[in-house]
Amino acid sequence: MSLLCLLPDEMSVARLPADAAIPAWATASPFFSITRTPDELSILCPAARVPAGVRAEAGWRCLQVAGPLDFGLVGVLAALLGPLQQAGISVFVLSTYDTDYVLVKKAQLSRTLHALRAAGHEIKEGSAKDAPSSA
């Protein structure tokens, strides 16, 4: 099973027009993700960084899968999302070169941690940068 690290910040997912410039507030923290599609500019960052008036969904907590993960691994997300689906918990997922992040609404955090632990996953507080590799 996976080692997950519960990151400390409450996160927001903001939506800007597809042609919007990347705002400075979006990159003003150590953890952020920016995705541009033909339809939108989507920004994941700490909720405290999103200015008032920006269309955003706040209240997300982030679980980082300790990595780096090998690209050949199969079923990492399925092993995490299956128990959450069974518990009726909605997720927002972000994948990077090294690992995966599963975000859940803050109101569902306790149920999320219970479901993941019951499925055999280990959860620690803080960043996974010092955690042992799960690859």
C-alpha dihedral, 62 to 68 to 74 to 79, nearest 10°: -30
pLDDT tens-digit profile of 67-105? 755 656 555 788 899 999 999 999 999 998 888 899 999
CATH class held by domain 3-130? alpha beta
| pLDDT value at 47 more than 90 | yes
* Upper half-sphere CA count for residue 74 (Cβ side, 13 Å): 0
Q: What is the pTM of this model?
A: 0.84
Beta carbons of 14 and 54 less than 8 angstroms apart:
yes
| pLDDT value at 133 more than 60 | no
The C-alpha atoms of residue 43 and residue 31 are separated, in whole angstroms, by: 11
Q: Are strands 11-16 and 33-36 parallel, antiparallel or unpaired?
A: unpaired
Q: Helix 109-118 and helix 76-86: axis angle, to 10°?
A: 120
| pLDDT value at 132 more than 80 | no
